[in-house]
Amino acid sequence: MDSYSIYRNPLTSRYASNEMLYNFSERKKFTTWRKLWLYLAKATKELGLAITEAQIQDLEAHVEDIDFKAAEEEERKTRHDVMAHVHVYAAQCPLAGPIIHLGATSCYVGDNTDLIVIRDGFDVLLPKIADSIYRLSKFAQEYRSLPTLGFTHLQAAQLTTVGKRACMWIQDLLMDEKAIREARWNMRFRGIKGTTGTQASFLQLFEGDHEKVKQLDSMVTKMAGFEKGFIICGQTYTRKLDIECINVLASFAASVHKICTDIRLLASRKELEEPFEKSQIGSSAMPYKRNPMRSERCCSLARYLMSLAANPLHTAANQWMERTLDDSANRRLTLAEAFLTADALVMTLQNIAGGIVVYPQVINRYIQQELPFMATENVIVAMVRAGGDRQECHERIRVLSQEAGNVVKQQGGENDLVTRIANCNYFQPIHSELSQLLDPSTFIGRAPEQVDQFIEEEVKPILARYPGLDSAVSVDLKV
């Protein structure tokens, strides 16, 4: 049966990067198991157990050359994945075979590998999130002063700027970067804890020497690249750690969904567009269409990732006493797919952020349709300065506004309030000021200055953690 005749997970075939796919691959998993057996052997030797340097070298020589077919056949016989790999590794390492997995339980390799893979998954994601922030910050700076309609309740509100709105997106991503970075650095290693977390088997190995058992745990933790380990475990590390890790990814997904929903709404108004390639087809039936397919993909994948956050909650809630195995199949799916989905999301976001196209004339047209109404207070103030009566001015401009509104809503015409004011003798004292009163740049408040301050004080310090960012580098998507 060829590969096209069996189901392929779209995360692997269409969306996620090769580096994240490798991180959750069988090769990464089982070579990490072998490295953990090697760490255990090295540490126990250093602490005085009868393990020879030749045995250590034997283990080191065969960390990478896994016989996957032999391991699969062994697992079919034993129905135990860890023991299958112990047997295959031992067959390759005749000298070291007798001391592989000494004192350990399956969770020594299983859980510790999961922790390594989660940590490394965060390390794949964080620079990409930073790059998305960098690309959007360049965009925000470029359009810091370009007025655009702000929206509340999806109704036209006061003006903001295109760059200021992008800073709202960036602010959410900064929170995600911080949460993911903290989740990564707060991770602890399970280490060597034994079958129920008491380290009893290792205490036997070291003939009751508690200090050596503590040293062993610390040494293996450091070898695996962790600063801290759990002091308390059952057979597994607490599954609440999985909750924390998946939650920060789900929160990131919510941010991307919000950003891409904004882009989709603005694209429908033709105010801006995501990148659109020369040969890209928007619709099979409507050749003129330029659908925001990348943003739609992000919203779709984000919805899936947000839904995955429920799984580790149920898993943690159902860990009976020291552990139960009903977490295993669920975690095989949830952990990998959460990171693969987050990876697909952030790469698509990078691609979008590096090529957003803005249409200032369209934006200005929408502004001109709404600005006359927004400017009525400015007109009243100007008339009062010129000696007019505020209440009379308010009534006259109310009447003209209603007439202009009827033209827009009932006749489908353009907003002609400014023309009506210009043709009304009552407003003659301020006719020369009308263009100034209706200048969109006078309605954006401190938006440009807020962009500058935000980039300088909040964005740049975070980006300094990630040298080598370059918004000109393209991010190619698989499809």
> So which residues are the catalytic ones?
153, 283
Contacts of range 270-273, beta carbons closer than 8 Å, 24 or more positions apart: 270/359, 270/362, 271/148, 271/358, 271/359, 271/362, 271/363, 271/366, 272/162, 272/356, 272/357, 272/358, 272/359, 273/356, 273/357, 273/359
Classified as helix, coil or strand, 235 is: coil
Look at residue 383 in the predicted model and tell me its pLDDT: 87
Look at residue 282 in the predicted model and tell me its pLDDT: 55
Q: What is the pTM of this model?
A: 0.91
Q: pLDDT digits over 226-259, tens only?
A: 999 999 999 999 999 999 999 999 999 999 999 9
Helix axes 328-353, 106-142, angle to 10 degrees: 20
> Are the beta carbons of 363 and 146 closer than 8 angstroms?
yes
Q: What are the structural domains, with CATH classification, of the chain?
A: 15-99 (1.10.275.10), 106-276+289-359 (1.20.200.10), 376-437 (1.10.40)
Residue stretches of the chain with pLDDT short of 70: 277-289, 471-473, 479
Q: pLDDT digits over 127-161, tens only?
A: 999 999 999 999 999 999 999 999 999 988 889 99
Nearest to residue 248, comparing CAs of 339, 347, 328?
Answer: 339
Look at residue 376 in the predicted model and tell me its pLDDT: 82
